[in-house]
């Protein structure tokens, strides 16, 4: 039958294949299929309940699915005021609109809400994004939190047993009271689930109002000294080591395929040309200009820039503020 896989009993579900190609999340791919944007072997399909193999010809909006590219991961310092989506119905600025145009088509590993900032992982591999989002992966997400109000360490320690807020059960949370600053407190928090607005809702239950939320680590990847709005690729060797064989196998990560060349790029609206990719060498991009800096000369420039710029440090010990308070 036209549009069916050449082998219905083998292969992978088509939404998974589209996600693994880095075009969209699996859920978004299923929405594309329902909208009639995906065709297999020349026939438009309407259901994601279809297995495909390497012999099948898949197109999205009439553009062939790109060949498998090397799995890549980027650290991004998300600023406040950006939403983690490709397109926002309310017209708010998005992280993907702020990213340099030279980057490949990326999807986020989880989200940070509009008023949150800090480390956000981006990848071209939907399988890797899904694997890293799962609580079963067990990676600790660490946050620096400033909140209005007062709390005791004893109350924070009780969060290690989990807490239920408005009928939602949150798993164990590690929380430390770092210091009091005026009417605020600074906390360090670690959690493994990352449910929607989890930190804000849990602290609100303790009588605290979060007014600054910074993610400083996601598993083995840290925000470090990455400038506000900057994005830096994790080297392939470092990524392979950080994932380990179990997570790499779960994500079906590919560390051997070539990097993307100039191939069509899909978006939530229509397709357009993809900008050339970069080498997996840990190069750093600047969102403001889209200029790529790498190598000894760039490192020297970075050092000189840091000497010239006298950034005001956050006296609480947190990351540098992105704007005056």
What positions carry a catalytic annotation?
Answer: 113
223: exposed, middle or buried (C-beta count within 10 Å: 0-12, 13-18, 19+)? buried
- How far, in Å, CA of 9 to CA of 21, rounded? 21
- How far, in Å, CA of 295 to CA of 297, rounded? 6
Q: Of 200, 175, 199, which is closest to residue 188 (Cα–Cα)? A: 175
In 154-240, at which residue ranges do the beta strands (DSSP E only) sit? 163-165, 168-170, 173-181, 184-191, 209-218, 221-222, 230-233
289: exposed, middle or buried (C-beta count within 10 Å: 0-12, 13-18, 19+)? exposed
H/E stretch holding 74: strand 73-78
């Amino acid at each position: 039958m036209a549009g069916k896989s050449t082998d219905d009993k083998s292969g992978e579900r088509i939404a998974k294949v589209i996600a693994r190609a880095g075009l969209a999340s699996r859920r978004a791919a299923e929405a594309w299929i329902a909208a009639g944007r995906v065709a297999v072997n020349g026939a438009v399909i309407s259901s994601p309940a279809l297995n495909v193999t390497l012999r099948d010809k898949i197109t999205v909006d009439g553009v062939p699915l790109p060949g498998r590219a090397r799995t890549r991961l980027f650290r991004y310092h998300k600023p406040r005021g950006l939403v983690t989506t490709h397109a926002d119905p309310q017209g708010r600025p998005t992280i993907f609109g702020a990213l340099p145009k030279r980057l490949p088509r990326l999807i986020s590993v989880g989200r940070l809400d509009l008023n949150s900032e800090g480390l956000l992982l981006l990848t071209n591999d939907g399988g890797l994004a899904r694997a890293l989002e799962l609580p079963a992966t067990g990676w600790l997400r660490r946050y620096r939190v400033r909140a209005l109000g007062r709390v005791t360490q004893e109350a924070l320690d009780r969060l290690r047993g989990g807490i239920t807020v408005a009928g939602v059960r949150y798993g164990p949370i590690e929380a430390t009271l770092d210091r009091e600053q005026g009417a605020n407190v600074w906390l360090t928090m670690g959690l493994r689930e990352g449910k929607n607005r989890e930190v804000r809702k849990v602290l609100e239950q303790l009588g605290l109002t979060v007014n600054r939320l910074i993610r400083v680590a996601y598993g083995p990847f840290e925000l470090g000294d990455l400038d506000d709005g900057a994005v830096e690729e994790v080297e392939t060797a470092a990524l392979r080591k950080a994932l380990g064989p179990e997570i790499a196998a779960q994500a079906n990560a590919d560390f051997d395929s070539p990097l993307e060349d100039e191939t069509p790029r899909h978006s939530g609206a229509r397709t357009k040309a993809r900008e050339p990719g970069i080498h997996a060498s840990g190069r750093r991009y600047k969102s403001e200009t889209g200029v790529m800096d790498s190598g000894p000369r760039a490192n020297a420039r970075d050092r000189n820039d840091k000497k010239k710029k006298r950034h005001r440090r956050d006296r609480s010990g947190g990351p540098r503020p992105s704007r005056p308070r």
